[in-house]
Amino acid sequence: MTKPFDLIATGTGASGAAASCRKAGWKAAVVDNLPFGGICALRGCFPKEVLVGVAQALDRTRRTRGKEDVFNRILGAHLIVRRRTKWSASSRWPSRNG
């Protein structure tokens, strides 16, 4: 028996992507022989990444304090806005391509 799917996620660590695609109307399936959640959720790499990310953001903030004007001139505030907008637009990819 054959069943057509738009997306088959191997492992439940990718279930968020599968859920987004399913919400957008795609026919999605998740295949995994391990407990639901995937290795990162069950073994802790997501919490580690969150804590490391926060520590890095705090470190960058402390090191750039007083240099905001230089940062804006070098990088350009318009690039930051564009980058955020581009990422936000790409996060809606499944619903636009349903």
Q: Give the number of other Cβ atoms within 10 Å of residue 39's Cβ.
A: 14
Domain residue spans of the chain: 1-43, 44-89
pLDDT tens digits for 29-78?
878 777 766 666 666 666 667 777 778 888 887 777 776 666 566 656 55
Q: According to the model, what pLDDT value does residue 53 have?
A: 79
Is the whole model's pTM more than 0.75, yes or no? Answer: no
What number is the average pLDDT over the span 8-20?
69
Q: According to the model, what pLDDT value does residue 44 have?
A: 64
Q: According to the model, what pLDDT value does residue 71 have?
A: 58
Q: According to the model, what pLDDT value does residue 32 have?
A: 77
Q: Give the number of other Cβ atoms within 10 Å of residue 45's Cβ.
A: 13
CB 14 within 8 A of CB 40: no
Q: How far is CA 88 from the centre of its chain?
A: 10
- Interacting residues of 40 by C-beta distance below 8 A, sequence separation 6+: 13, 46
